Structure 1
Amino acid sequence: MEQLVSLAKHRGFIFPGSDIYGGLANTWDYGPLGAEVKNNIKRAWWKAFIQQSPYNVGLDSAILMNREVWVASGHVGNFNDPMIDCKACKARHRADKLIESALEAQGEERLVDGLPFAEMEQMIQDYNIHCPDCGAQDFTSIRQFNMMFKTHQGVTDDAVNEIYLRPETAQGIFVNFKHVMRTMRKKLPFGIAQIGKSFRNEITPGNFIFRTREFEQMEMEFFCAPGSDMEWFEYWRKAFYEWLIRIGIKEENLRLRDHEQEQLSHYSKATTDVEYHYAFGWGELLGVANRTDYDLRQHMEHSNEDFLVTEEGKEPFIPYCIEPSVGVDRLFLTVFADAYEEQALDNGETRTVLHFHPSLAPYKAAVFPLSKKLSEGAQSIYAELAKEFRVDYDESGSIGKRYRRHDEVGTPYCITYDFQSEEDKSVTIRDRDTMQQDRVPVSELTAWLRERTL
């Protein structure tokens, strides 16, 4: 993980937040190249599940919502994590993760999330679990900690004006269900998807950008008739897993974990996590949940709005909902970690390379003049390609050093304009992964690059 963090900062992917003021714990700023990759991830998701889907439409709902939304959804009363403090050093821990990490260190993999507090406290005793910060075994009792960020709307800080930063984007979809169905003339089954910021006051954020308090989600709520829900659950479970592989994540680093009955959330009929093997162990990357009619039913009861759907030959019903959800930041970390390689070369040297899928790479290509005397011709090619692609122009240092710089940022193709280019109107294209070089006519360059990167 240290190599990833170092490369991310060194090459302009991710910087510590508020760095010149000493930072703010667990906040990160995406640099120029990080912003490109992040936007490419979001574009790839939107294209796959909205643009190319006959079922789904997009939405962009507000971060600040009426407080009653969160009362109805259960977040005000139930959106809690188990918190425990070390009495010796005053460190605060999320109890389930404390236990899971300790068991993993002892060679045992076990999911503790959702267990009763009494059972977790007994496990701390049985497994002789100590505070990872100071080594003491003197903990408080486990208690609930609500993770929503509270603020106030307006000029007075009183309870009447109390609102929350949204902890998920999903509720913005549910409250707009009727609007979307009516304006887009949708019939079941159909989905509503959106990308947006969410905020959770995590007890123990960490592992770089794996768990942060401010994060971006890509969520879809797919509405269908009761009875067809498990069929659609399996459909989207498969579709999202295959999409992860299509954007370049190695299948050997992925696994599917179905939740046992006792692990399911109160609203869920079935849940599957797609987990990735990070440097710190297996962790959830993407989740697909069958939320039944829980959310629409809750909002129907609290708002007095009618969410019943009528289909020919059936009694009116509240639609069931399948929710595939993935964090943009966590997917960024996954893509970054999966692409990273320190590769030993035949000449004894080592190169650092990011094997990004070309569609996610921050630059699709880099243009080099072999000599600064050739800058005019190279800049002309750069200007033409920049009309359609995000490309870089680099004339500093030797060709070898320029190759290495772009290997480190994941540029899939480096285009060299040399003295021969002046005569034959062709350029040399070097492939990042194979390091092989091919000669391509300048007139065919845009089409060549489009075929391989879009």
Structure 2
Amino acid sequence: MKIKHLEDLNTLVSLSKRRGFVFQSSEIYGGLGSCWDYGPLGSLMKLNVKRAWWNAMTRRPDIVGLDAAILMHPMVWKASGHVDGFSDPLVDCKECKTRFRADNTDSYINEKKCPNCGSKNLSEERSFNLMFKTHMGPLEDTGSVVYLRPETAQGHFVNFQNCQQASRYKIPFGIAAIGKSFRNEITPGNFIFRTREFEQMEMQYFVEPGTDEQFFKEWKERRWNFYIKFGIKPENLKFKDHDKLAHYAKAAVDVEFKFPMGFSELEGIHNRSDFDLSQHMKFSGKNLEYFDEPNKKKYIPYVIETAVGCDRLFLAFLCDAYREEVTTDEAGKEDVRVVMGLHPEIAPFKVAVLPLSKKEELSSISEKLRDQLAEDFDVNYDESQSIGKRYRRQDEIGTPFCVTVDFDTINDQAVTVRHRDKMTQERVAITQLNAYIAAKLKTFNQ
């Protein structure tokens, strides 16, 4: 048997639409550029991705959760530097009217020509702020301008004191949040890799100055282990240090994943120094120093940030899990089984119930079994077409276990359980099925 892994992102785009992972937003109107909707399977899987991250962050004695508002006081973005510095250098082609980022196009950088048509008839570079601007209140004047947040991190910083005092946690401690962010990207693309509306999963860990390098190193290791735990292959991951640091950073590294278009950023891990709290102290007039009572000293905490895009992680899980198992019979005819080898905690459904026939004596048992399993797991029910085709459909969406109800079930009150990856089958009593599936999910890859 030969194994083929994902080579072309278009293969995944097609599968995502066909099976209900991701749809083009507003498709019946021709779609809206770089905006995507998560379908029946995608919404389940995305929830699982967020739950996996949230549990990894908050089921600890030193990190609390936060759900901050998308709309924030405009001065937040002035203090953070987004109003003045969050921009891309843009160039317009006067021939084909294409607008592109001047800092992300080799053909422009090297030859000063349009990457679309090759023309050298270009405009001067100019800055374009990436924040979406809107207005609060009935009048659209400058006094009512607000922004859709371009990152969730600032919610952590302006709530640092609130969270610390409410939780009564001592430093070091962290704040974790999952939420929507918006960036008016000029060159989005590669499916859901870069979009204008996206979800971020960010954690800001507040530490005493002088301990920051130690915690930076620790969080690099923790985040690497997270990806390995949930099935990402180590050879598809690497760290990449930043050549040029952002204005707030003392140190920065990306966790890169090998997407079909090459290694690209999946997560950023940053030592943000005391920049953020210092800036918000300056612009708000509020004292955000931390008082270390046992040692009788005050200081502005340093921040270690871990920031991963939920949509990018969703895409990485799909890319890494996709495989084609190719077998050849004696006549030389190839058969291809498409498998989405997702970790069970990430897979949309944990188990599928497949009655061998639509006859009443089987469907009645199967429907009761579906309800029994649904008390503990996300369950899919499929009774159309042959059992072989139904197995293949479940393989393609990553379902770890298929449960077949056959005519022997009527007499022995047992079902056949098929393992997605090993393709082994076991006969299990219906009364023991929930416990059996739960135990197998815990040791799925062992």
Separation in 1, partners of 2:180, 2:21: 19
Q: CA deviation at 1:314?
A: 5.1
In structure 2, distance between residues paired with 1:366 and 1:129: 55
* Worse overlay, 19-28 or 423-432: 423-432
1:118 alignment counterpart: none
1 CA distance for matches of 2:92 and 2:379? 50
Matched, 1:248 2:231: yes
Question: Which AA in structure 1 matches 2:88?
Answer: D
Superposed, 1:400-419 pairs within 5 Å as 400-419=388-407
Structure 1 position 376 matched with structure 2 position 364: yes
1:281 match: 262
**Take 1:322 and 1:451, find their aligned partners in 2: how far apart are those partners?**
37
Cα distance in structure 1, aligned partners of 2:378 and 2:295: 53
1:418 to partner: Cα distance: 1.3
Q: Partner residue of 2:3?
A: none
Which AA in structure 2 matches 1:146?
A: N
What is the aligned partner in structure 1 of residue 36 from structure 2? 28
Q: Could you say which residue in structure 2 is the equivalent of 1:317?
A: 299
Offset, 1:343:
1.8
What amino acid sits opposite 2:20 in the alignment? G
Structure-2 separation of matches of 1:272 and 1:448: 42
Equivalent residue for 1:356, pick from 342, 348, 357: 342
Secondary structure of 1:414's counterpart equals strand
Q: What SS is found at the alignment partner of 1:331?
A: helix
Superposition map of 1:302-313 within 5 A: 302-311=283-292, 312-313=294-295
Q: 2:163 aligns with which of 180, 194, 205?
A: 180
CA distance in 2: counterparts of 1:316 and 1:430, whole angstroms: 60
Q: Name the aligned partner's letter for residue 32 of structure 1.
A: P
Q: Is it true that 1:327 corresponds to 2:313 in the alignment?
A: no
1:390 aligns with 2:390: no
Q: Relative to structure 1, is the Cα distance of residues 364 and 129 closer, same or farther in structure 2, using a 3 angstrom cutoff?
A: farther
Return the alpha-carbon distance in structure 2 between the equivalents of residues 203 and 406 of structure 1: 38
| TM-score normalised to structure 1 length | 0.92
1:66 is aligned to 2:47: no
Cα distance in 1 between the residues matched to 2:82 and 2:54? 27
State the one-letter code of the partner of 1:171. Q
Give the unaligned 5+ runs of structure 2: 1-8
Equivalent residue, structure 1, for 2:409 = 421
Which residue of 1 is the match for residue 5 of structure 2? none
Amino acid of the residue matched to residue 292 of structure 1? S
Secondary structure in structure 1 of the residue aligned to 2:314 = helix
Q: C-alpha deviations, 1:59-101, integer Å up to 9, x for none?
A: 00000011011111111011112212222211111122212xx
Amino acid at match of 2:177: Q
Equivalent in the alignment of 1:38: 46
- The code of the aligned residue for 1:379 comes to E
Whether the aligned pair in 2 keeps the contact of 1:354 and 1:408 (CA below 8 Å) is yes
CA distance in 2, matches of 1:246, 1:329: 19
- The Cα shift of 1:194 comes to 0.4
2:97 pairs with 1:90:
yes
Tell me the distance in 2 between the aligned counterparts of 1:357 and 1:323. 26
**Equivalent residue letter for 1:228:** T
Deviation track 1:383-422 (CA, whole Å, cap 9, x = no partner) reads 1001111101111111001001111111111011112222
Say if 1:441 and 1:314 are closer, same or farther in 2 by CA, change over 3 A: same
DSSP-derived class of the 2:28 partner: helix
Rounded Cα–Cα distance in structure 2 between residues aligned with 1:278 and 1:88: 33
2: CA distance between counterparts of 1:70 and 1:449? 49
CA distance in 2, matches of 1:352, 1:136: 43
CA 202–443 in structure 1, closer or farther in 2 if over 3 Å, else same: same
How many Å separate the matches in 2 of 1:130 and 1:248? 42
Partner of 2:218: 235
TM-score w.r.t. length of structure 2? 0.93
Aligned residue for 2:297, secondary structure, equals coil
Give the 3-state SS of the residue equivalent to 2:291 in structure 1. coil
Q: Kindly state the Cα deviation for residue 141 of structure 1 after the two structures are TM-superposed.
A: 2.8
Q: Deviations over 1:127-155 (max 9, x none)?
A: 33642321223333322211000000000
Q: Does structure 2 retain, via aligned residues, the 8 Å contact 1:310–1:316?
A: yes
Match of 1:12 among 20, 24, 28: 20
CA shift for structure 1 position 248: 1.2
What CA distance in whole angstroms lies between the structure 1 residues aligned with 2:202 and 2:280? Answer: 19
- For the 8 Å contact 1:188–1:223, the answer to whether it is kept is yes
| Match in the other structure for 1:134 | 117
CA distance in 1, matches of 2:11, 2:36: 17
Distance 1:134 1:240, change over 3 A: same
| Inter-partner Cα distance in structure 2 for 1:257 and 1:396 | 48
Q: Which amino acid aligns with 1:44?
A: A
Which range is displaced more, 305-314 or 277-286? 305-314
- Number of residues paired by the alignment? 427
Amino acid of the residue matched to residue 60 of structure 2?
S
Instruction: Give, in whole Å, the separation in 2 of the partners of 1:295 and 1:73.
Output: 7
**For the Cα contact (< 8 Å) 1:358–1:452, is it kept in 2?**
no
By how many angstroms is 1:452 displaced? Answer: 3.3
Which residue of structure 2 aligns with residue 448 of structure 1?
436
**Paired position in structure 2 for 1:264:** 245
Of 279, 282, 292, 1:301 maps to 282
Q: How far off its partner does 1:271 sit? A: 0.5
Mapping 1:160-199, distance limit 5 Å: 160-199=143-182
SS at match of 1:316: strand
Partners of 1:367 and 1:29 lie apart in 2 by 27
Distance 1:414 1:193 in 2: 36
The residue type equivalent to 1:49 in the other structure is M
Displacement of 1:346 in angstroms is 4.5
> Which whole-Å CA distance do the structure 2 matches of 1:182 and 1:320 have between them?
17
How many Å separate the matches in 1 of 2:73 and 2:152?
Answer: 14
The RMSD of aligned alpha carbons is 1.3
Question: Aligned to 1:282, what secondary structure does the other structure show?
Answer: strand
Q: Which moved more, 1:130-139 or 1:404-413?
A: 130-139
Name the CA distance, whole Å, in 1 between partners of 2:348 and 2:186.
33
* Residue number in structure 1 paired with 2:353: 367
* SS of residue paired to 2:11: helix
List aligned pairs for 1:100-139, cutoff 5 A.
124=109, 127-128=110-111, 130-139=113-122
Q: Distance in 2 between matches of 1:353 and 1:90?
A: 43
Q: Distance in 1 between matches of 2:169 and 2:182?
A: 31
